Amino acid sequence: MGLGAARKTALVTGAAGFLGSHLVDRLLDEGYEVVGIDNLMTGDLGNLERAGRDPHFHFQMGDVRESIHVYAELVFNFACPASPVHYQSDPHATLTTSVLGALRLVEMARGRRCTIVHASTSEVYGDPTVHPQPESYWGNVNPIGERSCYDEGKRCAETLLNDARRAWGVDVRIARIFNTYGPRMAFDDGRVVSNFIVQALRGKPLTLFGDGKQTRSFCFVKDLIEGILALARPEPLLGRWGLRPDEPGSAPIPPFGPVNLGNPEEFTIRELAEEVLRIVGSDLEIIHAPLPADDPRQRKPDITRARELLGFSPRIGLRDGLRATVVDFQARLAERSPKGR
């Protein structure tokens, strides 16, 4: 096992989601017994097809807003709608999933020797006035806007988890995840990569919101999952602070803060659209639509901390990642198409 000598149990909330399902597969590859929880608000059991064939994977229908009765040495909290279409469709569920979910995990972790790896987001930085965004930046967030259910929910979850670390010594690791894409993304999630690919494969004009000059940094899912696993490993983090995992009295938990995980290569949204068209082999029209409220103008992670602390460095460039994603979308769209058409 890459994360421990004996088979241990990992719990993944939001296991049927895009990121959660990739994480489940990777943990099974590492030799973990994996319990996946999902209420299928936005998750898809099809994402767990591979995991379902593994006898070491156990799925439970469940909601992180309720008490969790699973023992696991390692807990990955990925339960929350993460795309604008999904998290704005039920803002109350989005906010309470972030906040109550973090609270339930803290309740579970208190008094147990387990680690919580929490999926936070670059949205905690809002529409940033600092570029690129380091973890020390507090953000520029609208607390009552259309996106606030997600932004503020994630910010509050970070507060709960950090207070649990300070007050009770709960081992908490927080990943601030920047735009991630790849196979298994939902067709209708409203994210720019999936929007462009689905439109291009269906022969429809690509919809560009605003002037297309706003920027994003896109991380392929395989790179992101490796960063998550690096964050979960105790050795780099403890070693950074001069401690050993087996050293008596090594608690309290080393005082590291949130860690940005993403690819720092920056592209305009128009550049992304043009790259998708090149890969699909199409000269479809690009049309413009009004920019959504509170949509960030720039988004790029400063991953200095992740490089130094975890040895994290994304390896898959945008073109290669988009090609793999397009192949996946083509296959899944073909399965949906009526036979004979």
Whether residue 161 is contained in a domain is answered as yes
* pLDDT for 176 beyond 70: yes
Quote the Cα angle for 279-194-13, to 5°: 130
Predicted local confidence at residue 129, as pLDDT: 93
Predicted local confidence at residue 201, as pLDDT: 95
Confidence of residue 290 (pLDDT cuts 50, 70, 90): confident
Whether residue 16 is contained in a domain is answered as yes
**Phi and psi, residue 296, nearest 5°:** -65, 145
Bigger pLDDT: 325 vs 254:
325
Kindly provide the b/e burial profile for residues 53-84, where b requires at least 16 CB atoms within 10 angstroms of the residue's own CB: eeeebbbeebbbbeebeeebbbbbbbbbbbbb
Residue for token pair 């006035």: 129
Rg (CA), the chain: 20
Predicted local confidence at residue 237, as pLDDT: 52
Predicted local confidence at residue 143, as pLDDT: 92
* pLDDT for 245 beyond 70: no
Q: What is the span of the domain harbouring residue 53?
A: 9-180+221-262+300-315
Whether residue 120 is contained in a domain is answered as yes
Whether residue 144 is contained in a domain is answered as yes
Beta strand pairing call for 206-209 and 286-289: parallel
Confidence of residue 89 (pLDDT cuts 50, 70, 90): confident
Whether residue 332 is contained in a domain is answered as no
Predicted local confidence at residue 69, as pLDDT: 85
Peptide bond into 132 cis (omega under 30): yes
Contact assessment for residue 171 and residue 116, using Cβ atoms and an 8 Å cutoff? yes
| 150 is an active site residue | yes
Predicted local confidence at residue 84, as pLDDT: 75
Helices (H), the chain: 18-29, 49-52, 84-89, 91-109, 148-168, 192-201, 221-232, 234-240, 269-280, 304-310, 318-336
pTM: 0.90
Whether residue 293 is contained in a domain is answered as no
Predicted local confidence at residue 82, as pLDDT: 76
Q: Is 242 exposed, middle or buried (0-12, 13-18, 19+ CB in 10 A)?
A: exposed
Bigger pLDDT: 207 vs 250:
207
List the CATH number of the domain containing 154: 3.40.50.720
Number of structural domains the chain divides into: 1
Peptide bond into 252 cis (omega under 30): yes
Distance of alpha carbon 79 from alpha carbon 41, whole angstroms: 10
Lowest mean pLDDT among 215-219, 312-316, 332-336: 332-336
Confidence of residue 338 (pLDDT cuts 50, 70, 90): low
* pLDDT for 249 beyond 70: no
Whether residue 198 is contained in a domain is answered as no
* pLDDT for 2 beyond 70: no
Predicted local confidence at residue 283, as pLDDT: 87
Q: Give the rounded percent of residues in the chain with a pLDDT score beyond 70.
A: 90
Bigger pLDDT: 17 vs 247:
17
Distance of alpha carbon 84 from alpha carbon 254, whole angstroms: 34
Bigger pLDDT: 283 vs 59:
59
Whether residue 282 is contained in a domain is answered as no
Contact assessment for residue 63 and residue 51, using Cβ atoms and an 8 Å cutoff? no
Confidence of residue 158 (pLDDT cuts 50, 70, 90): very high
* DSSP SS3 for 187: coil
Set 32, 87, 125, 150: catalytic member? 150
Lowest mean pLDDT among 94-98, 99-103, 244-248, 318-322: 244-248
